[in-house]
Amino acid sequence: MDSYNVKRKFGDYVDPIYKIKIFNESVVLASSTPDATVKSVLNGKVIFAKDTASMEKVVIIENGDEIHTIYAHLSKIAPTIQVGQKIKKGYVIGRVDNDLTFEVTQKNFHIDPLELIAK
């Protein structure tokens, strides 16, 4: 997304209701505009692209160095996105109406997605 606000950060936070510490493995980015385009932050290969019961439409991209980028709560997956397809950084993978959940793993560990966005 070209214009967004960070709604929920990566890392530890205290649940406002239960007052317990929780580790958030993703970031939630609130789109500043409706129907905003979501672009890949790295080159990679699409390994998953479909509607899910809990995360709405999801696209997972396998990037180099055992990095996986996960884009969830998409309102639409771009019609050009196909599993097995290689894409470049900046390629439009879908659209989001409100909030995008963005998660990054490397070698089965979660890393702060905002570090990739800043590059």
Q: For 72-105, how does the pLDDT look when each residue is reduced to its tens digit (9 = 90+)?
A: 999 999 999 999 999 999 999 999 999 999 999 9
Show the domains of the chain with their CATH numbers: 4-117 (2.70.70.10)
Residue 2: pLDDT band with limits 50, 70, 90: confident
**pTM, whole model, 2 decimals?**
0.91
Given this model, what pLDDT does residue 117 score?
83
Task: Look at residue 1 and tell me whether its pLDDT is greater than 80.
Answer: no
Nearest to 62 by CA among 82, 77, 84: 84
| Comparison of pLDDT for 116 and 21, the residue scoring more | 21
Measured CA to CA, the distance from residue 72 to residue 76 in angstroms comes to 10
Contacts of residue 68, Cβ cutoff 8 Å, sequence gap at least 6: 47, 60, 61, 62, 104, 105, 106
